[in-house]
Structure 1
Amino acid sequence: MGLTVAPSNLWFLAWIALIPLWIALSKSTLTATLAGFLWGCGYHGLALFWITGIHPMTWMGVSWLNSLIIAIFCWLLITFWGAILVTIWSYILHYIITHNLLKLKLISPIFIKIFLGVTIWCLLEKIWSFSPLWWTSLSLTQSPYNLAILQLLKISGTTTITALILLINGLFAENIILIINNKQHFYKDKYNLIANAIIILTITHGIGYINYQIKISNNPLEVINIGIIQGNIPNEIKLYDTGLKTAIINYTNGYNDLAKQKVDVILTPETALPLFYDDIKNNSSFYQTIIKQKIPLWLGAFDQIKNNYTNSLFFIDKEGIVITKYDKIKLVPLGEYIPFSNILGNLIDRLSPLDAHLIAGKKNQILNTTLGKVIVGICYDSAFAENFRFQASKGGEFIITASNNAHYSDAMPFQHHAQDVMRAIETDRYMAKATNTGYSAIIDPHGNTKWISQLHQYQTHVGKIYRRNTKTLYVAKGDWLIILLTFLMMSYFFSHYFRGDRSNQ
């Protein structure tokens, strides 16, 4: 399963990759639980191996050895956190199977098992998405390549895709188990469950493809000509004088070039200028360029709040006045703050001189600009769909994201792009994204990448996005599918409990 995520184009393997784990659920408790843990390590460990790209951090004053230790520790931590999810799922489902909890009149135990497997996994993913360490939903395996199935994100977000992947794998696996145990005589057709899986897979992809083929209705009156600057300031110099001077030169030149093309607004990456905004306004030649050219700008910088500061994206109008700003909500664990600091803080402090001074922005931010209501995300925010859904439900008309992925290996920027593709589809919105070293891009509401930059190159681009006011079922109702599945699961367990209670009387 770890091979299915971007930048690999092996998304189709996700529809069979769970079969060995599913088969192991009927074995001993140790086998089932260990299989879950190892499968989780394989998936999350491979998918998130890009985190090791933070090594070496010698440019930050961290010794080579300590840098290696930090990188390995980060990788093992996020791998273990993901593996716990799969381990819990395996243990719970194994317990249900071995404790005879799959009985219900008129419904085959196989279908109850598959239903519970789908529901429990989706519920665990939902719980994990509230944690600070979240990236690798099973739905990510289909992005950005399988755009047909990704259209179903509009129904109930990532739960829709995750549930389908579990369902198909479960049907395949249960048919294989029947064949192995020579119990295929229970069904008229030896391959009945496999046939059902193929039919469901075909129908869902067909529905998605039909929706994908529907022409996007763009109102010419709602067009925004947006200029994007990819500054390409390597992290090795970004926070030092050399990097700051290079950033001011690159963003000034980019701003001037785009201003000549009469764009409506210009977008810069996360912390394009790693300074407090007041310092930029009072001491930077870049601010004078804004006053001169009079083109609105989204500027990535810091904002000081008492003794702390936020990672922010400022919307500056043509007069150089900050109309509004967005503060990054989801800070990067271990990079921008220390999760579980009571436990891990002392260890990290011994290994690294880094300090975590950032504070998270408030949830449920609503941004009104001269260009309309905007849905905004900064970097790690892209992994958390609810933030985008909420802003869309409150009238957000298009999406912008600003990021800096220069810390990691080259696999990470494309996975980040895959996350952004899903956010655009879920909300049925155009997205413009600026990233320090790539990938910057423009994405349409069907998830098509209309333009994408090169990695590690300074680039500017002018593209068109459109304001939209549609509401998908997911935007309007949220993740209703997980609520429905959980309700049905609890109803099943309650009915099973009361039936068992009566039978004991």
Structure 2
Amino acid sequence: MQKKLSKKQGEGLSLLPYLIALSSGVLMGLTVAPVDAWFLAWIALAPLWVLVITSAKHKNQSPPASPALFWGIGYHGVALFWITGIHPMDWLGVPWWPSLAITLFCWSFISLYGGVFVAIWAAVMARAAKQKPWLRILIGTSIWCGLEALWSAGPLWWSSLAYTQSPHNLIILHLGQLSGTTTITATIVAINGLIAEAWINRQGAKNLSASSAPWRFVNPYLAIATTLLITLHLIGLALYSQPIAQPPAAALKIGVIQGNIPNKIKLTPEGLRRAITGYTNGYLTLVNQGVNAVLTPEGAMPFFQRDLAATPLISAVKEKGVVAWVGAFGERGRSYTNSLFTVIGSGEITSRYDKSKLVPLGEYIPFESILGGIISRLSPLDEHQVPGAANQIFDTPFGRAIVGICYESAFPEQFRRQAGAGGQFILSSSNDAHYSASMPFQHHAQDIMRAIETDRWTARATNTGYSAFVDPHGRTLWISRYNTYETHAETIYRRQTQTFYVRWGDWLTPLLLGLGALAWGCNIFWQNDGNTKLR
């Protein structure tokens, strides 16, 4: 009987690290919409840090990478739960059950994929468990930033730790002007690491001598964490407090149209009629309000470029002479692109931007040679969308613009490159119609980060919400309602400033990795040298 009880207790204890890791990962997932508990990001990684270090020091405990996998699944699974909103995909002609299977596959895959990166981080941290706490913090921060940089270089990317602070903590988001999202991610990881080390080394304060009584209950790691958190927020506040120049010569009044056309009917006769009527009437309404240009959402006019000239919207542009940025489809051989076109007063298309970051499974099939057969059995989808070039520029009658189409908002390098090439304002064109409301709000949060990093005004037009205008400090000047037809005009200002991030890119990640590797190598050398002398 006693043996059975001991066995059950052992099993319960063996499950505890996984439950703690999963729970703290879920807490990190609650930092973004729809819960928006952004403050949890400053403590939600600490439990995993403690688990990894303590389990690595005690060989009889579970491998550190295993609970870390659960942490990553908890974080990404909750933060990206909106992916399940693509079901049912009847608007694409996918039957109900195959739609459910595709949806669950997408959600499970991205959650597990995110978990793998956290597991890799934990495996490296386990090797550093016997190093000094300050070195563990440096290594943990640099490895996490390096893994995020690696992940964001691929096609699947969204949930950086940095975006847990958007749109609520605009002050800390201004650190993005220094080295992009890495600066914020590094801050969050370092603070969590200091809190974790405070817990791991909590016995240190108790063992102080009586002569140190006034400091007996002061944990140095917590003190450093508090100082660092306040200091970095003060730096962010200094950047946030910088005045934004608004010279009249740089003013540009832009109107946005939120068409509110569900994807289910978008390509039906009813959907086409609503698109033609809604965007044409919206254009005329905004022109009457004295705008300089009108921005439409991604795929607002579901026509190929060759057919746009015959639409009433282009006829209205010819009649009124006001520029329109029209979301439609371009052609490239036998394939097509998701594009934004500049249509000037004569009806001529003078510039075109092709979406270069496509949504996996939604706009193309990743690893098509492997997954193509599986997907084709589940769905009648026949996608032939191709990405645009990586080095595009988008010139307009008002100067060069920075363009992001939908999913591209998650990739800061897209915006940094265009800002560095002379982009003076941001045009974000999206269609988030097939997801729940939390996804477009997260999308808006991504655009806020891009506005701050590049120091640019942003006009954001979406199909069903949230359309918005954002200033260079990330403040939302106006935001639409959700699932409504709306038009709105706002004055933005063209800017030619270049933040440290725009000029130099993500310099912090290689610096942290270099310092971490150097410090770790030197520490190992000193340890080996000390052991040699003792012999």
CA distance in 1, matches of 2:384, 2:449: 31
Partner of 2:498: 471
Partner of 1:150: 173
Partner of 1:161: 184
Letter in 2 for 1:143: S
1:276 to 304, 309, 317: 304
State TM-score, norm by structure 1. Answer: 0.95
Partner of 1:115: 138
2:150 to 115, 127, 133: 127
Partner of 1:450: 477
Instruction: Tell me if structure 1 keeps the 8 A contact 2:205–2:219.
Output: no
Partner of 1:232: 260
Partner of 1:401: 428
2:336 is paired with a residue of what secondary structure? strand
Correspondence 1:54 to 2:125: no
Correspondence 1:245 to 2:268: no
Partner of 1:105: none
Letter in 2 for 1:203: T
Partner of 1:460: 487
Letter in 1 for 2:152: S
Instruction: Give the paired residue count.
Output: 495
2:31 is paired with a residue of what secondary structure? coil
Deviations 1:42-68 (Å, cap 9, x if unpaired)? 100000000000111223322211111
Partner of 1:179: 202
Letter in 1 for 2:176: L
Partner of 1:68: 100
CA distance in 2, matches of 1:476, 1:7: 34
- Asked which structure has the greater CA Rg, the reply is 2
Q: 1:435 to 1:165 in 2, by over 3 A?
A: same
Partner of 2:405: 378
CA distance in 2, matches of 1:73, 1:212: 41
1:311 is paired with a residue of what secondary structure? strand
Correspondence 1:264 to 2:292: yes
Partner of 2:393: 366
Name the stretch that deviates more: 424-433 or 489-498.
Answer: 489-498
Instruction: Tell me if structure 1 keeps the 8 A contact 2:292–2:322.
Output: yes
Instruction: Tell me if structure 2 keeps the 8 A contact 1:424–1:444.
Output: yes
- Tell me how far 1:497 sits from its aligned partner: 5.7
Partner of 2:369: 342
Q: 1:504 to 1:360 in 2, by over 3 A?
A: farther
Instruction: Tell me if structure 2 keeps the 8 A contact 1:6–1:144.
Output: no
Unaligned runs of 5+ residues in structure 2 are 1-27, 57-61
Name the stretch that deviates more: 251-260 or 176-185.
Answer: 176-185
Correspondence 1:201 to 2:233: no
Deviations 1:49-94 (Å, cap 9, x if unpaired)? 0000011122332221111111111100111111111111011101
- Tell me how far 1:183 sits from its aligned partner: 7.0
Deviations 1:292-325 (Å, cap 9, x if unpaired)? 1111010000011111111000011111111111
Deviations 1:341-368 (Å, cap 9, x if unpaired)? 2222211111111122111000021122
Partner of 1:92: 124
Partner of 2:244: 216
1:237 is paired with a residue of what secondary structure? coil
2:321 to 268, 287, 294: 294
1:373 is paired with a residue of what secondary structure? strand
Letter in 1 for 2:136: K
Correspondence 1:23 to 2:46: no
State TM-score, norm by structure 2. Answer: 0.90
Name the stretch that deviates more: 422-431 or 176-185.
Answer: 176-185
1:441 to 462, 465, 468: 468
Superposed CA RMSD in Å reads 1.7
Q: 1:23 to 1:261 in 2, by over 3 A?
A: same
Instruction: Tell me if structure 2 keeps the 8 A contact 1:252–1:286.
Output: yes
CA distance in 2, matches of 1:252, 1:370: 21
Q: Percent identity?
A: 51
CA distance in 1, matches of 2:447, 2:341: 20
Letter in 2 for 1:38: F
Deviations 1:76-118 (Å, cap 9, x if unpaired)? 0111111111111011101221xx4x2xxxxxx1100000000
2:490 is paired with a residue of what secondary structure? strand
Partner of 1:310: 337
Name the stretch that deviates more: 57-66 or 195-204.
Answer: 57-66
- Tell me how far 1:259 sits from its aligned partner: 1.3
- Tell me how far 1:140 sits from its aligned partner: 0.6
Deviations 1:132-174 (Å, cap 9, x if unpaired)? 1100000010000001111111010000000000111111110
